[in-house]
Amino acid sequence: MEFLVTKKHDQYREVTTLSRPVIYRCIEDKSDRIPNYGAQCFPVEGAKSEYLVKSDIYNFALLKIGFVKIYERTTGRLMAEYREMRKYSDLLPFFVWLRWAGEPSTLVRCPVNSQFDTFQYDVLKVRESSP
């Protein structure tokens, strides 16, 4: 897996844009006791992957909108796109005990079953297995 890192978050959630983006390549750490959990990541000069996956999340008050787009790196062609919207119902969480905000903490998601974190794996698995 490869990552293009363009921003840095510090412990106080301050976001800084890096002057020079860095590409990291990660490989599974076979010495980790939990399979598919650990990875070793290191900076590299260029990406080897044939595909570019770009994820964005936008927050608007109680709404979260997420996009995942998969591109062919050589042509720049958009191969697949996934969109997801989440709405949180806690308008006034402090006043839940008065029932001013309705029922406590409910989440409405479209689609109901999220694929935000797994969409690219499903698309690229199908792509790799097709002739």
Angstrom distance (rounded) from CA 130 to CA 112: 28
119 phi/psi in degrees, rounded to 5:
-55, -50
pLDDT number for residue 118: 86
Indicate whether this model's pTM tops 0.95: no
pLDDT number for residue 40: 83
pLDDT number for residue 79: 93
Please confirm whether the linkage preceding 111 is cis (ω < 30° from 0): yes
Per-residue pLDDT of the chain (131 residues; tens, 9 = 90+): 888 888 888 878 788 898 999 999 988 777 766 665 677 889 999 888 889 999 898 988 888 899 999 999 999 999 999 999 988 765 555 555 555 445 555 678 888 888 888 888 888 877 666 66
Single-letter residue type at 36: N
Of residues 84, 86, 94, the one with CA closest to residue 116: 84
Read off the pLDDT of residues 54-66 as tens digits, 9 standing for 90 and up.
989 898 888 889 9
| Residue-range domain boundaries for the chain | 1-48, 54-71+84-131
Contact 17, 6 (CB under 8 A): yes
pLDDT number for residue 122: 84
